[in-house]
Amino acid sequence: MVTIDLSGKHALVMGVANHRSLTWAIAQQLHHAGARVCLTYANERLKPMVEELAGHLHGSLVLECDVTQDRTIHAVARRLTRDWGSLEVLVHGIAYANKEDLEGKFVATSRTGFQLALEVSAFSFLNVSHHMLPLLEKNGASLLTLSYLAAERAVPNYNVMGSAKAVLEQSVRQLAWELGARGIRVNAVSAGPVSTLAARGIHGFLSMQRHHAEKAPLRRNITKEEVGKAALFLLSDLASGITGEILYVDAGYHVMGV
């Protein structure tokens, strides 16, 4: 039986908000596989919840990181350099858009709203990867981000977040090419609808879930645990020949034409 052993490896997981987060499911899988995990939180409001969750991951770190502020990214890189010296896994699950830009008409998206959504949800993956590169290239690392089908299809009410996911997926491919020579792999998981804090901000999310379960080949929705296990595979040596890939974990929904 093949098992995944990440003992001695270090994983930075960004984007955990609560126990329903897909990044939390990924962090748990990484921990169970033996990796040391560092969770980040964006602001003081999220700090208590992230610290509580980190208490379930023995030996984990919890650090502040607001990806709109380079100084906090620098601070995380300095701390991980001091405490760990290398970084073999980077998980990016950060996304945000103004509520009005998700509930209103896409054509009416504000300039500042568009810029904010792309900065937080897409540019942050590129920017964090750049700041962590000295750590990532030491042993050859695996990077992972989270996307959604709206990156390539029109999804009602997803609006500017679909634009951000499209940029994010292009970033996966471009980074895979650029960082491959350094032994760094870059992939994404495109997950089906899961009831997370971020997903609840999408107007009509429950209807979206019901439709997905009716139309997907497996006739059901996915679980966050399934996302966690798929991510663990991509982040492990079992996927050593895979980079630049968008792996769909959506019960097959993306293959359907109607």
Sign of CA dihedral 179, 150, 21, 113: positive
Sign of CA dihedral 235, 73, 15, 167: negative
Q: Let me know if 41 is a catalytic residue.
A: no
Catalytic residue, chosen from 41, 96, 148, 248, is 148
User: What distance in Å separates the CA atoms of residue 175 and residue 172, rounded to the nearest whole number?
Assistant: 5
What string of H, E and C letters represents the secondary structure of 75-112?
HHHHHHHHHCCCCCEEEECCCCCCHHHHHCCHHHCCHH
Q: Where are the beta strands (DSSP E) in 85-234?
A: 89-92, 142-147, 185-191
Residue 137 burial (C-beta neighbours within 10 Å; 0-12, 13-18, 19+): middle
Catalytic residue, chosen from 41, 96, 158, 253, is 158
Q: Let me know if 158 is a catalytic residue.
A: yes
Residue 257, SS3? Answer: coil
Give, for 140, the enclosing helix (H) or strand (E): none
Please list the active-site residues.
Answer: 148, 158
